Amino acid sequence: MAVLSNNNASSFFFILMDLPGLETAHCWTAIPICFIYALSLLGNVIIMYIVKSVSSLHTPMYLFLSMLSMADLGLSASTLPSMAAVFLLDQRKVGAATCFLQLFFIHTFSVIESAVLLAMAFDRCVAIREPLRYATILTTKRTGTIGLAIVIRSAALHLPLPVLLGTLQFQPMNVLSHSYCVHPDVLRLACSSTIVNSGFGLFVMLSTLATDAVLILLSYVLILKTVLSIASSAERLKAFNTCISHICAVLLFYSPLVSLSMIHRFGKKKLPAQVYMLLSYLHFLIPPMLNPIVYTVKTKEIRVRILKMFGLKIL
């Protein structure tokens, strides 16, 4: 079969795939997927609207929560077009340029979410360890600067990905493993050397997701050390309770990611391909849907505002 260079990206395309084992039932599969997207959109828009409209919530904790909702919306918007094309329209062909653009946004928003979770861990660490200096350490201006730095870092590190992919050669038709484009999945289909691309991809992952995870863990070690030093058990519980929502958000984001990494390294040959693919879908679909629910349930200020918005009785 002929091998084509990305210099003429319009001459070849990628084939998107359904969920493994459910190829003949994609119309039925579209129902829960559309429900997840609708719930993600509704929940995150409500969170952002409440934080924006209530001046008392213009604090670092809620501003970071609003940033998390923006990242969730961006991640959902990045995967939605191709998934809707596959599950609703049964359109599986996607051009190379479109595929490369999608993977750029998917990875960028994933790293933005990881960085926001790190910023939220830092916020909780400062609030618990330095409560008297909290307002002077995390000012509104510094919070905005952190948010801007997160976006710049994430976008700058991922800009070379589509450029480097453009130097590779692919066959005229390439079948992907998912209904969206991600860098490792596209890279495995290349017909030319991928050493540079693989090396750069590893560097980006280690300098973003891996580093963020280590720093989040370190933040909670410091938080735990401070909480355990508090004499009153009631005060310890109160301090730790302010972190529950964030811990849930971290677990929702990193659990599928760590599981994917472990399966890829040690169990990919032993487990069905469906398990690997399902975890990949969970990583991109579940956090944007469940994060607003977690923060609504565990954060009184958000919960009260939502109940008032819908005219429900406050319990």
Cα–Cα distance measured from residue 189 to residue 202, given in angstroms and rounded to the nearest whole number: 17
Query: pLDDT: is 25 or 255 the higher one?
Result: 255
- Split at pLDDT 50, 70, 90, the class of 268 is low
Query: Sign of torsion, CA 148 153 156 158?
Result: negative
% pLDDT > 70, the chain: 88
Average pLDDT for 146-162: 96
- Ordered DSSP codes for 199-227: HHHHHHHIIIIIHHHHHHHHHHHHHHHHH
Question: Given this model, what pLDDT does residue 313 score?
Answer: 62
Average pLDDT for 216-244: 87
Please, which residues have CB within 8 angstroms of residue 2's CB and are 6 or more apart in sequence? 171, 172
Query: pLDDT: is 279 or 215 the higher one?
Result: 215
pLDDT over 70 (residue 1): no
Average pLDDT for 168-190: 86
Average pLDDT for 298-302: 87
Cα–Cα distance measured from residue 282 to residue 280, given in angstroms and rounded to the nearest whole number: 5
pLDDT over 50 (residue 6): no
Question: Given this model, what pLDDT does residue 305 score?
Answer: 87
Strands 13-15 and 173-175: what pairing? parallel
Lowest-confidence segment of 9-13, 40-44, 136-140, 170-174 by average pLDDT: 9-13
Residue-range domains of the chain with CATH: 12-309 (1.20.1070.10)
Question: Given this model, what pLDDT does residue 217 score?
Answer: 96
Average pLDDT for 168-179: 83
Query: pLDDT: is 211 or 311 the higher one?
Result: 211
What is the tens place of the pLDDT at every residue in 130-139?
Answer: 989 999 999 9
% pLDDT > 90, the chain: 52
The pTM of this model reads 0.91
- Categorise residue 83: left if φ over 0, alpha if ψ from -120 to 50, beta otherwise: alpha
- Ordered DSSP codes for 262-297: HIIIIITTTS-HHHHHHHHHHHHHHHHHHHHHHHHH
Question: Given this model, what pLDDT does residue 2 score?
Answer: 40
What is the tens place of the pLDDT at every residue in 77-93?
Answer: 999 989 888 888 888 89
Residue bearing tokens 């004499």:
231
Cα–Cα distance measured from residue 83 to residue 71, given in angstroms and rounded to the nearest whole number: 18
Question: Given this model, what pLDDT does residue 20 score?
Answer: 65
Mean of pLDDT over the chain: 86
What is the tens place of the pLDDT at every residue in 180-215?
Answer: 999 988 988 888 888 999 999 999 999 999 999 999
Enter the tokens of residue 174: 């390439």
- Split at pLDDT 50, 70, 90, the class of 235 is confident
- Split at pLDDT 50, 70, 90, the class of 3 is very low
What is the tens place of the pLDDT at every residue in 89-103?
Answer: 888 899 889 999 999
